[in-house]
């Protein structure tokens, strides 16, 4: 998983591969299976795709898996890096980031390693286009890609930035440890209040006035969900720590975390779903047909 330094940490988790697949789970119109890629004794931190037949999962040994609607295949692997984040502007422009300043890129034909200019652990990646991509990570690191090369926007601090999401090139959020929330207006990154002291691991929104951040209150203290309405952040606590949040719309959002936690938001309330496993989850992505993919140290979920 890709968040808490003391628990998960943008440092590789200890992976204990399962030997049997948990049962299939169904809720409302959403269907998901929890399936471990048994031939790979590694875990996965994040998942992202363009459709239910074009999904990427990233994790240990710099591994990238691809799902084509029928099964997973390894499309990139090698090295000692752990990949923590994945995002793309299209099916032929995908970025994955991880430890030791690792950035790998897919151009629709092949994966290749890019020069990031950083040796810090990189945790999150998001962009508004193929020529406007941000990566965040350890030591206050923010990198920017202009379609040609990576440049360092910020680094050298003591904070960890874990995730980034935006609605446009002039509206983006970064979250991190100690309740850090940064907002980007197209020119500058500015600290904004609302995160308290919680460790914030994931951020996603349906619009500039509907943004969610999730995280951890501390070891053994449960999780937290923050919501931004365009003016201020409000918070609610959850029994289990949360690692990632993503959705399809303002009324169809998923948050995942420790102990097999999957929460669903219907625009009014968060509901605890039965995942059928107690394995930790670190990433979630949903396509427009309500197929949900979940990644974690013990495997990945596929529709």
Q: Find the mean pLDDT for residues 89-117.
A: 97
Question: Which distant-in-sequence residues (6+ apart) come within 8 Å of 258 by Cβ?
Answer: 7, 223, 240, 241, 242, 243, 280, 281
- For residue 140, the model assigns a pLDDT of 96
pLDDT at 72 over 90: no
Q: What value does the CA radius of gyration of the chain take, rounded to a whole number of Å? A: 17
pLDDT at 298 over 80: no
Cα–Cα distance measured from residue 44 to residue 221, given in angstroms and rounded to the nearest whole number: 25
Question: Which distant-in-sequence residues (6+ apart) come within 8 Å of 231 by Cβ?
Answer: none
C-alpha separations of 67 from 87, 145, 246, 251 in Å: 15, 26, 19, 26
- For residue 18, the model assigns a pLDDT of 36
CATH superfamily of 27-302: YVTN repeat-like/Quinoprotein amine dehydrogenase (2.130.10.10)
Q: Which of 207, 202, 138, 204 is nearest to 167 (CA)?
A: 207
Model pLDDT for residues 18-31, shown as the tens digit of each residue: 333 333 333 333 44
pLDDT at 38 over 50: no
Residue with tokens 């752990």: 82
pLDDT at 106 over 60: yes
Model pLDDT for residues 240-291, shown as the tens digit of each residue: 899 999 999 999 999 999 988 999 999 999 999 988 778 888 999 988 767 8
Lowest mean pLDDT among 1-15, 33-47, 167-181, 209-223: 1-15
b (16+ CB within 10 A) / e for 96-131? bbbbebbbbbbeeeebeeeebebebbbbbbbbbeee
Residue with tokens 């890096």: 81
- For residue 220, the model assigns a pLDDT of 66
- For residue 9, the model assigns a pLDDT of 43
Helix ranges restricted to H, the chain: none
- For residue 80, the model assigns a pLDDT of 84
pLDDT at 16 over 90: no
When pLDDT is cut at 50, 70 and 90, the band that residue 171 belongs to is very high
Q: Find the mean pLDDT for residues 144-173.
A: 96
Residue with tokens 């949040």: 245
Percent of the chain with pLDDT over 90: 64
- For residue 112, the model assigns a pLDDT of 95
- Model pTM score: 0.89
């Amino acid at each position: 998983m890709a968040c808490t330094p003391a628990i998960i940490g943008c440092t590789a988790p200890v992976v204990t591969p399962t030997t049997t697949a948990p049962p299939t789970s169904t809720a409302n119109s959403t269907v998901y299976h929890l399936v471990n890629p048994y031939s790979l004794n590694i875990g996965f931190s994040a998942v992202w795709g363009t459709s239910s037949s074009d999904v990427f999962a990233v994790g240990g040994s710099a591994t990238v898996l691809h799902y084509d609607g029928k099964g997973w295949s390894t499309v990139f692997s090698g090295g000692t890096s752990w990949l923590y984040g994945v995002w793309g502007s299209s099916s032929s422009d995908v970025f994955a980031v991880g430890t030791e300043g690792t950035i790998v890129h897919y151009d629709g034909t092949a994966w290749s390693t890019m020069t990031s200019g950083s040796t810090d652990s990189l945790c999150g990646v998001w962009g508004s286009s193929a020529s406007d991509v941000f990566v965040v990570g350890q030591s206050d690191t923010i990198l920017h890609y202009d379609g040609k090369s990576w440049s360092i926007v910020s680094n050298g601090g003591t904070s960890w930035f874990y995730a980034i999401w935006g609605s446009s090139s002039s509206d983006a959020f970064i979250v991190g440890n100690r309740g850090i929330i940064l907002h980007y207006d197209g020119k500058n990154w500015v600290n904004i209040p609302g995160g308290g002291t919680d460790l914030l691991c994931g951020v996603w929104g349906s619009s500039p006035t509907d943004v969610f951040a999730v995280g951890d209150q501390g070891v053994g203290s449960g999780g937290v969900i923050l919501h931004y309405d365009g003016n201020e952040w409000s918070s609610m606590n959850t029994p289990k720590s949360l690692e990632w949040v993503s959705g399809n719309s303002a009324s169809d959002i998923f948050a995942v975390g420790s102990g097999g936690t999957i929460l669903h938001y219907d625009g009014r309330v968060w509901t605890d779903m039965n995942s059928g496993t107690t394995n930790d989850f670190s990433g979630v992505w949903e396509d427009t047909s309500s197929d949900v993919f979940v990644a974690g140290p013990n495997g990945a979920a596929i529709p």
